[in-house]
Amino acid sequence: MRAARRKATGDAAQRPGLLRERGFRLYWTAQSVSLVGDEINILAIPLAAVVLLDAGAAEMGWLTAVALLPSLLLSIPGGAWADRRADRRRAMIVADVGRFAAVASVPLAYAFGALTMAHLYVTEFVVGALTVLFRVCQHHVYASLLPAERYVDGNALLSGSRSTAAVAGPGTGGMLVQVLSAPFALLLDALTYLVSAVCLGRIRTQEAPPAPRARGGLAAGLRWVTAHRTPGLLLAGVSMLSLSHTFLMTLFILYGTTELGLNPGAIGAVVAALGLGGLAGAWAAPRVVRRIGLGPAVVAGFLGFSLPLLLVPLADGPMPLVITTLVAAQLGAGCGVAVLDISTNSYLIAVIPETLRSRVMGVVQTANFGVRPIGAVLAGTLGTVLGLRPTLWIGTASAVLSVLWVVASDVRHIRELPEHADLPEDPEHADLPENTAVTS
C-alpha cells in the first residue's frame, strides 16, 4: 500500500510528462482548444441575438433552453448508441465537424442577410446534440489512452484546461465580439472544432470492443446505476448539486446588478474568479486524493464547492466588501468543483464496465446537465414569487445538503482506484460486496 502511494506521489511529480505521450497530448489539445471556442460561443450567440435581432427576455430564455435540452433528452440514448460503436473516436470527429458546420452557418447567414432567431435556435440545439454525442464517446477514448493509476493526473490536466478557458475565455470572447462583431467571432469558435477534429484524427489507440447488441438495451446504464449503491447515491448527489447551483447561475447577473449594484466589469471579475479557483483546484486535486484518499476527496469536493456559495446571498454592505465576498465565494467554489470533478470522473471511469461505459456516462450527463433546464425554470419562478435573495438561499442551502447523498454511500471509504472495473455488469449480481478492490 505504501509503495503504491510512493509511486502515485512520484507520478504526480511527473504529471506534465503525460503531455509527452502522443495520444494523450493530442486528446488534451483537442479538448483544450474546443473549450476556448465554447467560451466564445457562450458570449457571441446571445450577443448576436440581442444586438442583431433585438431578442427579448422570452427569446433569450428559449435560446438558453434549446442549448440545454439535448443533455436532458439525448444523453441516455446517445450513450446506448456509443457503447455499440467500434470506433467512438470517429464519432467524436463527426461531432466536431458537425459543430463546425452548425456554428459557421451563423456568420454565413448573417453575410447574406438571412440570420433569424429560428436559425440561432436550430444552431444551439444542433451544437448541444453533437456535444452530447462527443461527451458520451470521450470516456472510452480517454480510458484507452491512460492506465487507471493515471486517471486522476489526466483529469487534473483536463480540469486545468477548463479552468483556464473559464478565466481567459470571457475576456477573449468579449474582445473578439467587439473587434469582429458577434457573427464573425463565431468563425473562430467554429475553427476550434476543426482543430479538435484534426487532433482526434491523429490519435492511434485501441478502444474497448462494442457491447453486444442484445445486452441491456437503452436502459442498461440506468439499471446499472440504480443497482449499485455507491455510484447511484453519488449521481443523486451530483444531480441535486447541479440543480441547486443552477439557481445561482440563472439569477446571479440579475442579483448582482439590481440588488448589489455591481457594474459589468465587477461582474466579469467575479465570474473570472471561478476559473482561477478551478486552476487551484486542478493543481491541488491529485495531492488531495493521494493525501486523504479518493472517496474522502469526493466528499471534500462536494463541500468545497457548495459551502462557499453561501457567501453569495450573504453579500451586503460597502461595495469593496460585496466584491470581496463574491470573489471569495467564486474562488472557493471553483477550487471545490475541480476537486469534485477530477475525483468523481476518475472513480466512474474506473468502476464502470467497458461494455456499459457510454450508457452509464449518458446517465451521468443527464444527472449533471439534464437537470439544469429544470433548475433554470424553477429558479426563475421562485425568484419572481419569493425574491432573488431568498431563492438564492434555497439554492445554496440545497447545494450544501446534496453531500448527504454521498455520505450515505460507501464512497467515503474508497482510497484508491481499481485497475479494472470491479462492480458487476449484470444488475442481478449487484448484491456482491462493492468496492472491495478500492478500499484499504
93 pLDDT exceeds 90?
yes
309 pLDDT exceeds 50?
yes
Q: Amino acid identity, residue 196?
A: S
Per-residue confidence band for 252, with pLDDT thresholds at 50, 70 and 90: confident
Give the ranges where 212-365 is alpha helix by DSSP (H): 220-227, 229-258, 264-292, 294-306, 311-314, 319-351, 357-365
303 pLDDT exceeds 60?
yes
The CATH number of domain 13-149+162-210 is 3.50.50.60 = no
Question: Which residues sit opposite 414 in a β-bridge?
Answer: 439
Per-residue confidence band for 436, with pLDDT thresholds at 50, 70 and 90: very low
- Which tops the pLDDT comparison, 37 or 283? 283
Query: What confidence score (pLDDT) does residue 10 get?
Result: 43
248 pLDDT exceeds 90?
no
Question: Three-class SS of residue 439?
Answer: strand
Domain ranges of the chain: 13-149+162-210, 214-440
Query: What confidence score (pLDDT) does residue 51 get?
Result: 73
Query: What confidence score (pLDDT) does residue 162 get?
Result: 76
Give 329-357 pLDDT, tens digit per residue: 999 999 999 999 988 988 888 888 877 87
Burial bucket for residue 411 (CB in 10 Å: 0-12, 13-18, 19+): buried
Q: What is the dihedral of CA 361, 362, 364, 366, to 10 degrees?
A: 170
Rg (the chain; Cα; Å): 21
Per-residue confidence band for 122, with pLDDT thresholds at 50, 70 and 90: very high
312 pLDDT exceeds 90?
yes
214-440 has which CATH code? 1.20.1250.20
Domains 13-149+162-210 and 214-440 share a fold: yes
Query: Which range has the top average pLDDT, 12-26, 62-76, 238-252?
Result: 238-252
The pLDDT of 131-155, averaged and rounded, is 82
Q: Amino acid identity, residue 131?
A: T
Cα-based distances in Å from 375 to 65, 140, 382, 423: 11, 30, 10, 32
Mean pLDDT of the chain: 80
11 pLDDT exceeds 70?
no
Give 211-236 pLDDT, tens digit per residue: 665 455 567 778 888 888 888 899 99
Question: Within 13 Å, how many C-alpha atoms sit on residue 158's CB side?
Answer: 22
Report yes or no: 173 and 32 within 8 Å, Cβ to Cβ: no
Residue among 312, 346, 344 at smallest CA distance from 328: 312
